[in-house]
């Protein structure tokens, strides 16, 4: 699948024949511009006036991609052009009922207790019929002055034993390629980093076996070196640079209403008020605030935290504050502008950062513009700030206006309106100028890409090292090309980590393929600052998902603290706090020492300290050394003058002797225990090894 594929390719992705299928996604052709023509078909099982397609490719817009039933047989169809990559989708019946394709070969969690259908196209489809390379960030991109080049080769072909593969870059010579992933499609991914490669680089691949070398270029394999090579894609207007400070960061996510009550004067009143530590409900208030956060900054510093992610802190009616009433005002239940300024001051004094939650897809129903529409109806000058279909405007479930997932108190903003867009851009820069170090963006897949391109430009202009991270639950390729986000909440790695380490459901080889595929999906500047979480306000807690097993929860924590990207601790996970899905995962922090798991708290402190002390864990390249059964061994290469680090994880119950060739020449010290490495790893155990003097 190189750059000159034939114009027509037929690939059936649903087994059932169209005549009898309830649903299907069939790739009919690939156009010369590289887009796949995919025919989506759905036969509703409920009375349907209309059917649409919503997915990652149209920002989950339930109306943008309608399906038609021109012959009246009850089957709705549409042909949709899609780019290579991993796409997720659902069918939307009658504008409100979301249906997962029942015949999809692959599914993924949708983050709301259901599943999305998954469609893989091109290099993402798991097939490797020939050598693959093309002008996309997955295969070629810049990382600073270096040029990163990748080649996908069928296993047993260009990557077989005895075959050396190099990339020959004009003006930079030949650079050997290394296999960095054996994917589950029967292929190997080879990678080379070419330091100081000239801009607009031209290159070909050299495959040297037992006989004379062969060459791979845009026209395919050849016996002689091609005169025309691949060409580096045009450089973007602004180089993809991600904040350097994030590479050193340990993040801590705070749900402000549940972290700590520091100001009794703004405590909740009325029937929804609950005492601290009481079981949370969807509408309960417990009194957490920014004053409480300020009081516990020394605790967070001692834990090893260097950056905070705060769930929304702006004026809103709910406890979660995703129903914004005023983007420019701190909610009085949390404090005021003076409290915010004090928080920023105290963070700076401790060399800590803070990113805020940006909710720009929708507002609350008490936001000034929507309030005006409720009062004035069609006469409101803010009518085109939203998508209103019916009058009078009544707030209810599935109302007469577009809203987030049918919740009437969350009306959807019309960000294509220049006035709305300008307002939100000003909000984005206003809080950066007020001391925030970046934004975590809520449901960004529900807004057009152009909005985020402009948002990045504005925010980076206000502060070059601002961190922009999006809440994308699956493949995030469209957002991580350098023109929108720096990183995303890395839910795919979290899911793989939970399955292997926290639950013991998969083996090391499967885990390695999952995290490796994720690592190769994006340009290196994004990979190095990924937001690597194990839980959040939207998921059951880590300890709960580990079946209450503290050992397994700690094993998962050991991985994220030693992996590429920024580790994230969801408040309370460091003391073993449990909780099922929302609202139970939003329990109050247990500040009484007797209610805390001291061993896990010490564990997280130790992991953070080791990461802070070892440059390899923050900037070193990642390489798998062994992935077999329950045993996973990987290396973080030497960086910034520090030594390489070898990490060993055992997800099995039995103690295991680790092959010496997977570790390398010793002796080693296990930084987690401070003791010499014995060569054995206990069941459900971890070791972080450094060469002893």
Give domain status of residue 42, yes or no: yes
Q: What is the DSSP string of 245-311?
A: GGGG--EEEE-HHHH----GGG---STTB--TTSPP-TT-B----HHHHHHTHHHHHHHT--EEEEP
pLDDT tens digits for range 320-333 = 999 999 999 999 99
What per-residue confidence (pLDDT) applies to 18?
A: 33
As a whole number of angstroms, the distance between CA 14 and CA 40 comes to 10
Task: State yes or no: pLDDT of 305 exceeds 60.
Answer: yes
Q: Tell me which of 431-440, 647-656, 659-668 is least confident.
A: 659-668
67 and 204, same structural domain?
no
3-state secondary structure of 498: helix
Q: How confident is the model at residue 131 (pLDDT cuts 50, 70, 90)?
A: confident
Q: Tell me which of 96-105, 292-301, 504-513 is least confident.
A: 96-105
Give domain status of residue 237, yes or no: no
Of 218 and 161, the structure prediction assigns the larger pLDDT to 218
441 and 292, same structural domain?
yes
3-state secondary structure of 54: strand
Of 198, 231, 264, which residue is a domain's last?
231
In 3D space, the residue among 82, 94, 25 whose CA is nearest the CA of residue 56 turns out to be 82
In this prediction, residues 429-448 reach a mean pLDDT of 96
660 and 586, same structural domain?
no
In this prediction, residues 185-210 reach a mean pLDDT of 88
Q: Tell me which of 4-8, 209-213, 573-577 is least confident.
A: 4-8
What per-residue confidence (pLDDT) applies to 11?
A: 27
In this prediction, residues 38-63 reach a mean pLDDT of 83
In this prediction, residues 81-104 reach a mean pLDDT of 84
CATH number at residue 50: 2.60.40.10
What per-residue confidence (pLDDT) applies to 210?
A: 60
Of 256 and 207, the structure prediction assigns the larger pLDDT to 256
pLDDT tens digits for range 199-250 = 899 999 999 876 677 899 998 888 899 988 999 988 777 889 999 999 999 9
- The alpha carbon of residue 334 and the mean position of all alpha carbons in its chain are separated, in whole angstroms, by 28
Of 586, 613, 640, which residue is a domain's last?
613
Task: State yes or no: pLDDT of 27 exceeds 50.
Answer: yes
In 3D space, the residue among 482, 561, 434, 451 whose CA is nearest the CA of residue 240 turns out to be 482
The per-residue pLDDT of the chain, averaged, comes to 90
631 and 600, same structural domain?
no
Domain interval for residue 147: 140-231
Give domain status of residue 155, yes or no: yes
What per-residue confidence (pLDDT) applies to 57?
A: 81
Give domain status of residue 243, yes or no: no
Task: State yes or no: pLDDT of 658 exceeds 90.
Answer: yes
What per-residue confidence (pLDDT) applies to 649?
A: 98
What per-residue confidence (pLDDT) applies to 159?
A: 47
With b meaning 16 or more CB within 10 Å and e meaning fewer, what string describes 175-184?
Answer: bebeebbbbe
What per-residue confidence (pLDDT) applies to 9?
A: 23
What per-residue confidence (pLDDT) applies to 690?
A: 96
In 3D space, the residue among 147, 151, 146, 208 whose CA is nearest the CA of residue 177 turns out to be 151
Q: How many domains does the chain have?
A: 4
Neighbours of 416 (CB within 10 A): 12
Q: How confident is the model at residue 20 (pLDDT cuts 50, 70, 90)?
A: very low
Give domain status of residue 241, yes or no: no
What per-residue confidence (pLDDT) applies to 111?
A: 67
Task: State yes or no: pLDDT of 4 exceeds 60.
Answer: no
What per-residue confidence (pLDDT) applies to 110?
A: 76
Neighbours of 425 (CB within 10 A): 18
Neighbours of 38 (CB within 10 A): 24
Q: How confident is the model at residue 71 (pLDDT cuts 50, 70, 90)?
A: confident
What per-residue confidence (pLDDT) applies to 350?
A: 98
82 and 38, same structural domain?
yes
**Residues marked as catalytic:** 442, 471
What per-residue confidence (pLDDT) applies to 35?
A: 72
Give domain status of residue 373, yes or no: no
CA-to-CA dists, residue 643 to 637, 690, 691, 693, angstroms: 7, 7, 8, 11
666 and 606, same structural domain?
no
Structure tokens belonging to residue 76? 């709705």
Of 3 and 340, the structure prediction assigns the larger pLDDT to 340
Task: State yes or no: pLDDT of 150 exceeds 60.
Answer: yes
308 and 218, same structural domain?
no
Q: Tell me which of 112-116, 328-332, 488-492, 569-573 is least confident.
A: 112-116
CATH number at residue 286: 3.20.20.80
Q: Tell me which of 141-145, 289-293, 590-594 is least confident.
A: 141-145
**Do residues 420 and 428 make contact, with C-beta atoms less than 8 angstroms apart?**
no
681 and 598, same structural domain?
no
548 and 433, same structural domain?
yes
Task: State yes or no: pLDDT of 290 exceeds 50.
Answer: yes
192 and 161, same structural domain?
yes
Task: State yes or no: pLDDT of 467 exceeds 90.
Answer: yes
Give domain status of residue 134, yes or no: no
Task: State yes or no: pLDDT of 263 exceeds 80.
Answer: yes
Give domain status of residue 88, yes or no: yes
644 and 559, same structural domain?
no
In this prediction, residues 600-628 reach a mean pLDDT of 97
What per-residue confidence (pLDDT) applies to 157?
A: 54
Task: Say if residue 17 is exposed, middle or buried (CB neighbours under 10 Å; 0-12, 13-18, 19+).
Answer: exposed
Of 77, 101, 125, which residue is a domain's last?
125
Task: State yes or no: pLDDT of 383 exceeds 70.
Answer: yes
What per-residue confidence (pLDDT) applies to 44?
A: 82
254 and 173, same structural domain?
no
Structure tokens belonging to residue 492? 């795919």
What per-residue confidence (pLDDT) applies to 665?
A: 84
């Amino acid at each position: 699948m190189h750059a000159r594929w034939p114009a027509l390719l037929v690939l059936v992705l649903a087994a059932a024949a169209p005549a009898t299928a309830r649903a299907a996604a069939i790739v009919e052709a690939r156009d010369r511009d590289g887009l796949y023509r995919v025919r989506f078909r759905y036969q509703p099982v409920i009375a349907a006036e209309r059917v649409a397609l919503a997915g990652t490719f149209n920002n989950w817009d339930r109306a943008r991609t309608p399906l038609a039933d021109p012959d009246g047989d009850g089957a709705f169809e549409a042909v949709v052009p899609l780019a290579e990559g991993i796409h997720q989708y659902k069918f939307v019946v009658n504008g409100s009922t979301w249906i997962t394709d029942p015949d999809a070969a692959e599914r993924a969690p949708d983050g709301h207790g259901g599943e999305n259908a998954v469609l893989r196209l091109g290099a993402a489809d798991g097939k490797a019929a020939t050598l693959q390379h093309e002008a996309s960030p997955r295969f070629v991109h810049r990382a600073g002055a270096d040029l990163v080049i990748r080649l996908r080769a069928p296993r047993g072909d260009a990557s077989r034993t005895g075959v050396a593969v190099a990339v020959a870059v004009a003006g930079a010579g030949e650079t050997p390629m290394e296999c960095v992933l054996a994917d589950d499609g029967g292929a190997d991914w080879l990678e080379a980093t070419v330091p100081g490669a000239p801009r607009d680089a031209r290159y070909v691949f050299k495959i040297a076996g037992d006989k004379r070398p062969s060459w791979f270029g845009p026209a395919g394999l050849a016996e002689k070196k091609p005169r025309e090579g691949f060409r580096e894609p045009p450089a973007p207007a602004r180089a993809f640079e991600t904040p350097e400070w994030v590479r050193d960061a340990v993040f801590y996510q705070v749900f402000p209403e549940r972290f700590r009550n520091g100001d009794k004067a703004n405590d909740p009143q009325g029937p929804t008020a609950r005492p601290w530590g009481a079981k949370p409900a969807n509408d309960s208030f417990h009194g957490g605030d920014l004053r409480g956060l300020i009081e516990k900054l020394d605790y967070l510093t001692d834990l090893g935290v260097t950056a905070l992610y705060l769930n929304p802190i702006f004026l809103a009616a709910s406890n979660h504050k995703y129903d914004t009433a005023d983007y420019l005002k701190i909610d009085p239940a949390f404090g005021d502008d003076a409290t915010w300024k004090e928080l920023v001051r105290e963070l700076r004094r401790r060399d800590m950062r803070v990113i805020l939650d940006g909710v720009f897809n929708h507002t609350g129903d008490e936001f000034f513009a929507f309030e005006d529409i409720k009062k004035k109806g069609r006469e409101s000058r803010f009518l085109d700030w939203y998508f209103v279909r019916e009058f009078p405007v009544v707030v209810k479930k599935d109302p007469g206006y577009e809203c987030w997932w049918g919740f009437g108190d969350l009306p959807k903003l019309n960000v294509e309106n220049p006035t709305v867009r300008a307002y939100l851009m000003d909000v984005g820069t206003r809080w950066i100028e007020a001391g925030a170090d970046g934004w975590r963006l809520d449901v960004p897949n529900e807004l057009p890409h152009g909005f985020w391109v402009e948002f990045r430009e504005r925010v980076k202009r206000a502060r070059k090292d601002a961190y922009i991270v999006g809440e994308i639950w699956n493949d995030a390729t469209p957002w991580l090309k350098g023109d929108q986000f720096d990183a995303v909440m890395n839910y795919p790695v979290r899911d793989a980590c939970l399955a292997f380490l926290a639950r013991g459901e998969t083996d090391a080889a499967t885990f390695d393929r999952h995290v490796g595929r994720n690592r190769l999906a994006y340009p290196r500047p994004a990979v190095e600052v990924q937001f690597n979480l194990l839980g959040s306000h939207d998921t059951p807690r880590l300890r709960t998902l580990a079946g209450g097993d503290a050992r397994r929860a700690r094993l998962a924590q050991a991985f994220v603290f030693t992996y590429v990207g920024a580790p994230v601790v969801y408040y309370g996970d460091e003391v073993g706090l449990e909780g099922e899905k929302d609202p139970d995962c939003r329990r109050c922090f247990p500040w009484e020492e007797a209610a805390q798991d001291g061993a896990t708290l010490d564990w997280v402190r130790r992991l953070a300290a080791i990461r802070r002390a070892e440059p390899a864990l923050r900037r070193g390249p990642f390489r798998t050394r062994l992935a077999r059964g329950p045993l996973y061994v990987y290396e973080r290469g030497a960086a910034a003058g520090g030594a390489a680090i070898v990490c060993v994880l055992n997800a099995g119950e039995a103690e295991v002797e680790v092959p010496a060739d997977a570790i390398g020449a010793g002796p080693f010290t296990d930084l987690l225990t401070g003791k010499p490495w014995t060569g054995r790893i206990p069941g459900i155990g971890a070791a972080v090894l450094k060469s002893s003097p």
